[in-house]
Structure 1
């Protein structure tokens, strides 16, 4: 589903953010992408989404160059800090309905099939009773679910979550991990979970990719060197 072939990227000439990255993600995988701030994980994500182009190498998603539109396969995207904000004066249903506008091509009211998909996404995130509630009145964990429901409303083949646990309590993080595992198991959605820490999903992901200027670890979370499990070890200044 995703293939990086010898990919390097730099925002400024001579200052590489990523160097010589080879990475394959298969359909149906639940992959956590972790690493220190500034390590390149968000850049890797932007390359997947087609928001940046590699300085060298190739990035392909669904078998075609990243960023090329493919109506039969869609990416659901939760942007960094989206759920932590959520101050817009909209209800949960209005937010999730916006996730149907792009794939349906509509500007006006949603058609019945689209409304049914919105209702299904809301229900899957456990928000049916709060569908008419203003988004800004919800807790951080429930806002997070609403934004993920919006991403699900487009019927994604690939679900990309960038720092989804920012500002969310531990219980909500663990609840989210269970919901994401259900999505992968029941719908076959491929999930990229990008975060500077991965403790909330460590027990459900099959694979952890650690990014620090390149891929420095790729395998089961349990095989990660113990140093990276130590919260006292500060990676924020490493390059």
Structure 2
């Protein structure tokens, strides 16, 4: 039996989970972004202990690779790389937009909502003022529009909305919902965590699609502001 540890500390909620041959064993969450650094190591120890699994039995580690919180991404990546180096196991990375889109598609399917072949998915991460960090993906997680910063107006993505339905979600989607009236714009409430990594992680594991452990780094994106004067972080 193979085990993979999954780590997501990209945004507000941090989570880790353990899976065995593609099946979720247990997940631990924290809702406090500022506690990611103090949360992650004790949570991993607790997770392994509660499932009677020694770290040496891990076959790989998956980590969210961004975009997201500068500190959260650094904490997650450093922890994952450190464990991979120590245990001599491969590292798997999954982008935050892919992770969010997996969760969105799963939520729609649970509601028995048909996803058409040309429907698109638009994760939005809140940035400063009226900006969001976003991308467009299809249901196969292929990027139709690469990650970019958008200033939200009523005409945002109007060209794409004129041709297909687009699902919007994430902590930046509310900005667009407040000004968008296009009938093809569908706003869905989606939460995601490390458990949403499981299927894609095992697919990458089977295909041996591993990150280069020496050079793997988070993708921060752009600067965003926390509201504290003269202080900025990376998204």
TM-score, normalising length: structure 1: 0.26
TM-score, normalising length: structure 2: 0.26
Which of the pair has the greater relative contact order for Cα pairs under 8 Å at 6+ separation? 1
